[in-house]
Chain A
Amino acid sequence: MTRRVKRTVALTLAAASTGCSGEQSALAPTGVEALAIDPLFWTATWVGVLVTLMVVVLVSIALYGPVSWRARLGSDWIVIGGGIVLPIVVLTVLFLYALFIMQANAVRSQEAGDEAVTIVGKRWWWEMTYTTADGEKVLSANELRLPVGRPVRLRLESDNVIHSFWAPQLAGKLDMIPGRTNEVVVEATEAGISRGQCAEYCGGAHALMAFYVVAMPPAEYDAWLAREAEPAQRPKTGQQARGHDVFMQNGCGGCHQVRGTAAQGLIGPDLTHVGSRHSLAAGMLTNDPEAFARWITDNQHIKPENLMPPFRQLSEEELSSLAVYLDSLE
């Protein structure tokens, strides 16, 4: 069966009646590893369908088939042939196929270059540290940007509980375990946005710990990274300046960093370029001033148990200025 047909079947199955975007679907791979797993998955699926059909047919024959067929079915040899020989043959083939894919992935990982992003699982968001060509560390959060066609090492860590990094279109998942650094090499094959989510139950707001993967043409990516490495923009309008003051006066800098200002906190996500991200609060909200305002006052409802206290004391004016300021941090 060709890949296109398989893809069609997949999407029909997946989309059933929803017409979904499939942006978090393992069945719509756009990364090298995910693409390698895909055919193995479908092979195993079809083998499984055949085996199930075979059992159904044999049971039907055993129940209602002609006496001679039934007599033939009712022997020790059927049990040995169907129960031992057949499974061993089929499983050997599948198993070897899987081993070759594993080996190919291992080789690919070993051959990849040094370009790397360190991702640390937090409760319940992702801290991402890029490294520029000059070796400068650039702190960011909740959004993984990748250059299309260039393998990137993801170093996965955690300083609290176990999380699991899973961007289904890109690659399989890999756990983030305190005390260890796990590495997976990802390589996007086409530009676009997909979504990922924490896959290992990490308590509290586990369900609300997502991120976006933005794959960009390499040149655009390099430009983006250079911009990301720069300090934050200065406030341009009066409202932004007011928002900046609110930010500084209300202790936001205790937890959040905005490079180029006095805000140096490293507990919450880095906000230096928060306005340029695809989403807020680890994939929970769209990125606009209204969402910022909602998050600041209502975060314990949007993401229960998250570590940020609600800041409900701000006046309407303070809140909207703060939101506008944050949104301007592109």
Chain B
Amino acid sequence: MREEELPNTLPRPEGELEGLRRAWAPPKGFRLITAVNNQVIGILYIGAAFLFFILAGILALIMRTQLAMPESELVSQDFYNQIFTVHGTTMMFLFSVPVVEALGVMLLPQMLAARDLPFPRLSAFALWAYVVGGLVFFSTVFYDLAPKGGWFMYPPLTLTEYSPGHNADFWLLGIGFIEISAIAGAIEIIVGTLRTRPPGMTLARMPIFAWAMLIFAAMIMIAFPAVILATMLLEIERAFGWPFFTADKGGDPLLWQHLFWFFGHPEVYIIFLPAAGLVSMMVPAMAQHKLVGYRLIVVALIATGFFSFGLWVHHMFTTGIPSLSLGFFSAASMAVAVPSGIQVFSWIATIASSKQRFRITTPSLFILGFLFIFTVGGVTGVMVALVPVDFQVHDTYFVVAHFHYVLIGGMVFPLFATFYYWIPMASRNMLSERLGRWVFWLMFIGFNVSFFPMHITGLIGMPRRVWTYPSDLGWNTLNMVSTVGAYILAAGVLLFIIDLFLRYRPTMSGGVGNPWNAGTLEWLPGDAYSSRSIPYVTSREPLWDQPNLSRDVEEGRYFLPGAPTGGRETIVTSPVDARPQYIIRMPGAGWSQLVAAIFMAGFFLLLSVKLVVPALISAFIFIIACIVWGWKLDHGPDKGPVDIGAGIILPTYMSGHRSHAWWAMMVLIVVASSLYLAYLFSYLYLWVVSPEVWAPQGSPDLPGIFWPIGTGLLVIAGAAAITVGGRLLPAPGRRRAAFVPVFGLGATCFLAALVAEFWGHWASGLRPTMNAYGAMVYMASFLNLQVIAACTMLAGFSIARYLTGKLDNVRRVNFENAAQFYYYAAAQMLLGLVLLHGFPRVAS
């Protein structure tokens, strides 16, 4: 492209750069905690996750020390049971998922040359909820309150009868907000990758990491709701005795396992895919050659994303389910192995295509180490996917070895490569190559010495989760070796921390430049506002293929070189082929998301120890903070359209299906429906297990047919009223008296439907504690209540906005959000009516 063809001309107007700086200046001093810029949030987020990695690692060392010798009494049985639970929980929920989200928040805007992702406050909220809640959760290990049911918390062991006290509640509620935090991150990442790419970056030109994060976030949307439902069910059974998992009353302990692993297995790939994406970014840079098989890597990511949902039962091969079911899930487990093969070969091919020789730097060492360890983990993965082999190795140290190979190999090694590779982007120094090699070799050797022997330990009979073992079974030497290896591994991590202290000096103004001569946009010169102007992209490695790109971007010759509205903003493009659509205006630093995060975490934690009143106060403050947060978001079209260069004039306000808010609400609806699908599965599953407690034989008769029909009509009337309400929105500056009554009527219909559905069952004599059927019936009402509560709040918010003149037929995003969620609520409630009133009638 010739110089004169660039979108904006030189020289840039006076004060343009200063305006940009002013808009994006991060808060100073301790007010940094109010920051919402991805670069600040990203660093804090990664730091917090790494802290949890260290903490959980220390627990692992305690366990390894205890197991070094047979019949050791270094720690007590009870403490050991607590620390392995906390180790697993922390590594899975407080380290792996958050650190990957953190990398997304940190790297994606840079890779997409976006000023920021579309919901920066949501990221800040996710971060602080996670930090506060995570630290409190972890600290339970210090005062004997830590959960001790294992990280997958199987009932009945975790029911009140076998786990009295608050320990298990800390897991169930403590994990609750981390799930919410993960979903908040997922919304951010999906809308971010699809809508804030630079002009010209079509899906086919998207960096692999962005693909990986997109699929990562999509998987979170589907997987996390299952575990959210599971934790709700278990906590409700613990607190109120609704028998979802109690076999005597028609429940089934295996329901938990289905729900948990429907989340739990994809979780492994949720962790692995982004790491693989990072590797796919680093290998080409080190090879100085584009990624071989880009398309196939995308295939692998998509296929993994799907297949990983079809093999949850392979954690349940030994539960005695029918052998053909085992066959199906074994088949799916085979299927998911193939995409990993594709990626490994793609990396090998890229390495082989290096321009000169593949550069052996610290990141490349970690990647090569990863390739080896991950291959071994994959191979043992195939072994455990073979049903008969799994009968022997399931729940033994073989499996412990396998998943540490997959998770440490597949995720931690790429993560350390990432640290060495990307720190120059956000630090004034690179990390030390010399120390880095030591870190790598200590970690690589330590890891293999520690975990390879565990394969054998497991095969010769050692089950996992044992705090001690007899000395005469031949496990002694292998365990000692594993412990020595664990310390070597820890020494490597310690050396890394030293390196970090010595060399890492955070900065937002561009870091070291482009030390690896990589081809992707995160290496553009930048500042707190990301890059000065947003480039037009014509290939997958623009820095290699578009000469002078860095210079032109830095001089402001590409799109949106300033801050025309005076605030933070970036370009929103179309999802497939990245055509600019409008300018999104984003909020700056603020307290509301911080307060909301702290009090949401507070709500869950106080609820864990059954301090109900303080918990409700906390929830109230959380809601207030959310309202304050939301009040300023819909700023309206007051700034008018903006010229971003090349004569492209974009609006600064968007409603309807093109707006980012609409997309976020859609993602939220997918999450909610995924939760409801998990509920549907649970209902039908329990019916298959215990049809004898179902109405009308095992329980009181269903309410008369009048009840569901009346309720359904209420729902339909409500949805209709809300649609009419939308039509009634006045033009800007005008009033329409009918809006509030009509919209309010809609909202009231939904509330009435909620009450009617509940009352119908109550009047029939059915009680939730009676049996699994009763519990499931009232659970549906509970889920409806959640959705309707959110809807009612959105509706109240919209009405308040209308009354203050901030809602009209142009500035209507608030209303649209409420209406969409109401339509979803209507669908969920109608489906629920068909299920609860229709199914038992048909099935009997």
List residues of B (357-403) whose CB comes within 8 Å of A's CBs.
357-358, 360, 368, 371-372, 375-376, 379-380, 382-383, 386-396
Also in contact, A73 and B348, with CB within 8 A (given A83-B341, A162-B154, A199-B394): yes
- B162 in the interface (beta carbon within 8 A): yes
Q: How far is the CB of A270 from chain B (nearest CB, A)?
A: 23
From A29, which residue of chain B is reached at the shortest CB distance?
B392
| Residues on B with beta carbons closer than 8 Å to the beta carbon of A198 | 463
Q: How far is the CB of B87 from chain A (nearest CB, A)?
A: 13
List residues of B (231-276) whose CB comes within 8 Å of A's CBs.
246-248, 252-254
| Residues on B with beta carbons closer than 8 Å to the beta carbon of A171 | 391
Q: How far is the CB of B353 from chain A (nearest CB, A)?
A: 3
Q: Is B394 a contact partner of A173 (Cβ separation < 8 A)? A: yes
Identify the interface centre among A15, A16, A79, A206: most chain B CB within 10 Å of its CB: A79
- A226 in the interface (beta carbon within 8 A): no
| Residues on A with beta carbons closer than 8 Å to the beta carbon of B379 | 47-49, 51-52
| Residues on B with beta carbons closer than 8 Å to the beta carbon of A314 | none
Also in contact, A24 and B391, with CB within 8 A (given A74-B349, A84-B341): no
- B81 in the interface (beta carbon within 8 A): yes
Q: How far is the CB of B788 from chain A (nearest CB, A)?
A: 34
Q: Would you call the interface of chain B mostly helix, strand, loop, or mixed?
A: helix
Q: Is B466 a contact partner of A207 (Cβ separation < 8 A)? A: yes
| Residues on B with beta carbons closer than 8 Å to the beta carbon of A106 | 323
| Residues on A with beta carbons closer than 8 Å to the beta carbon of B77 | 204-205, 207, 304-305
Also in contact, A180 and B389, with CB within 8 A (given A87-B338, A173-B395): no
Q: How far is the CB of B472 from chain A (nearest CB, A)?
A: 7
Q: How far is the CB of A144 from chain B (nearest CB, A)?
A: 16
Q: In the assembly, what is the distance between CA of A213 and CA of B447, in Å?
A: 36
Q: In the assembly, what is the distance between CA of A102 and CA of B252, in Å?
A: 26
B16-24, B208-216, B324-332, B793-801 - the one binding chain A: B324-332
| Residues on B with beta carbons closer than 8 Å to the beta carbon of A304 | 76-78
Q: Is B334 a contact partner of A95 (Cβ separation < 8 A)? A: yes
From A167, which residue of chain B is reached at the shortest CB distance?
B461
List residues of A (1-34) whose CB comes within 8 Å of B's CBs.
13-27, 33-34
Q: Is B349 a contact partner of A102 (Cβ separation < 8 A)? A: no
- A273 in the interface (beta carbon within 8 A): no
Also in contact, A199 and B395, with CB within 8 A (given A40-B386, A175-B319): yes
Also in contact, A195 and B341, with CB within 8 A (given A51-B379, A52-B375): no
Q: How far is the CB of B257 from chain A (nearest CB, A)?
A: 9
Question: Digit string of A35-49 for contact with B (CB within 8 Å is 1, else 0)?
Answer: 011001100110111
- A201 in the interface (beta carbon within 8 A): yes
B218-226, B304-312, B473-481, B778-786 - the one binding chain A: B473-481
Q: How far is the CB of B706 from chain A (nearest CB, A)?
A: 36
From B299, which residue of chain A is reached at the shortest CB distance?
A84
- B350 in the interface (beta carbon within 8 A): yes
Q: Is A206 a contact partner of B474 (Cβ separation < 8 A)? A: no
Also in contact, A76 and B292, with CB within 8 A (given A14-B460, A51-B379, A206-B466): yes
Q: In the assembly, what is the distance between CA of A24 and CA of B466, in Å?
A: 15
- A229 in the interface (beta carbon within 8 A): no
| Residues on A with beta carbons closer than 8 Å to the beta carbon of B252 | 179
- A255 in the interface (beta carbon within 8 A): no
Q: How far is the CB of A153 from chain B (nearest CB, A)?
A: 13
List residues of B (585-641) whose CB comes within 8 Å of A's CBs.
none
Also in contact, A23 and B473, with CB within 8 A (given A37-B392, A79-B293, A91-B334): yes
Q: In the assembly, what is the distance between CA of A88 and CA of B568, in Å?
A: 50
Also in contact, A15 and B474, with CB within 8 A (given A70-B353, A173-B395, A304-B77): yes
A61-69, A216-224, A231-239, A242-250 - the one binding chain B: A61-69
Q: How far is the CB of A294 from chain B (nearest CB, A)?
A: 14
List residues of A (265-294) whose CB comes within 8 Å of B's CBs.
none
Q: Is B334 a contact partner of A73 (Cβ separation < 8 A)? A: no
Interface residue from B150, B296, B345, B460 paired with A24 (Cβ < 8 Å): B460
Q: Is A25 a contact partner of B349 (Cβ separation < 8 A)? A: no
Q: Is A48 a contact partner of B371 (Cβ separation < 8 A)? A: no
Also in contact, A58 and B388, with CB within 8 A (given A26-B393, A63-B357, A180-B320): no
Interface residue from A15, A55, A92 paired with B348 (Cβ < 8 Å): A55
Seed contacts A49-B379, A166-B395, A179-B253; 10 additional CB < 8 Å A-B pairs: A56-B372, A59-B372, A61-B352, A78-B349, A79-B342, A95-B330, A95-B331, A105-B388, A172-B391, A174-B391
User: Nearest 8 pairs between A and B by C-beta?
Assistant: A20-B474, A172-B391, A179-B247, A24-B461, A74-B353, A48-B379, A207-B466, A83-B342
Residues of B within 8 A of A (CB): 76-78, 81, 148-150, 154, 156-157, 162-163, 246-248, 252-254, 289, 292-293, 296, 300, 318-320, 323, 326-327, 330-331, 334, 337-338, 341-346, 348-354, 357-358, 360, 368, 371-372, 375-376, 379-380, 382-383, 386-396, 456, 459-469, 472-478
Subset of 13 A-B contacts with CB under 8 Å: A34-B392, A44-B389, A48-B379, A55-B344, A62-B358, A73-B353, A74-B353, A82-B344, A91-B337, A95-B330, A161-B154, A182-B320, A197-B461
